[in-house]
Amino acid sequence: MTTPKYKRILLKLSGEALMGNDAYGINPQVIAGICGEIKAVADLGVEIGVVIGGGNIFRGMAGTATGMDRATADYMGMLATVMNAMALSDAMRQIGLNARVQSALNIEQVIEPYIRGKAIRYLEEGKIVIFGAGTGNPFFTTDTAAALRGSEIGAEIVLKATKVDGIYTADPKKDPSATRFDKISFNEAISKNLAVMDATAFALCRDQKLPINVFSIFKAGALKRVVCGEDEGTLVYC
């Protein structure tokens, strides 16, 4: 059996990842595939926290662009992440994974509120904890929520699941000569102006000395390879 490098991880999934090639919403095949990737890691005995975005349903920034009040738009985005968290939890249930959803906003009839001690206990019991509603505050992204929850639960690394298999010197879709960094320091990423996460999330990870790995969730087995410390994605280190 492969030995994992990390005991406890925080996985950041974008809402857009759940759409697949659809224009909107949650694609059942895609969410099942993502859960399969997560199960392969859970089977190694790794404790997993998940923060999920809401961009497949509603983007706060897009709402703001049409003249909507920013705080209102952000709260709508948070509710979108709750819907995604519930869908992810149910997809996990269907393949035999035990998941719990916690929300940063109080909607107790639907899901339990975020309580740090309880979340840590669930992780220790081998349950997967999905954190919904971002940080619970407007003006903060779900990337920041991932950095925050990762720090709170004592995760050893934040894994940012994207559509691209790492951080490149340029956009690989536009520039065929772009090369992937296998690892890069926080300071180097800042000086090269590489958009790993938004500035708030990135600064929080750097301050907490919490490494980040950017990888593709659509590349079969990539999540497991990252967790086992193999050369996959791009590691951002202190």
Which pLDDT tens digit goes with each residue over 158-206? 999 998 999 999 888 899 899 999 999 999 998 998 988 999 999 999 9
Look up the CATH number of domain 8-167+187-195+214-237: 3.40.1160.10
8-state DSSP, 48: E
Q: Over range 121-126, report the average pLDDT.
A: 98
Q: Model-level pTM?
A: 0.96
Render pLDDT for 106-116 as a digit per residue (tens, 0 to 9).
Answer: 999 999 999 99
- Taking 80 as the threshold, does the pLDDT of residue 37 lie above it? yes
H runs (alpha helix) in 58-198? 60-65, 70-94, 116-124, 142-153, 186-191
Render pLDDT for 62-98 as a digit per residue (tens, 0 to 9).
Answer: 888 899 999 999 999 999 999 999 999 999 999 999 9
Contact 48, 42 (CB under 8 A): yes
- Taking 70 as the threshold, does the pLDDT of residue 12 lie above it? yes
- Taking 90 as the threshold, does the pLDDT of residue 146 lie above it? yes
In the chain, the percentage of residues whose pLDDT exceeds 70 is 100
- Taking 80 as the threshold, does the pLDDT of residue 1 lie above it? no
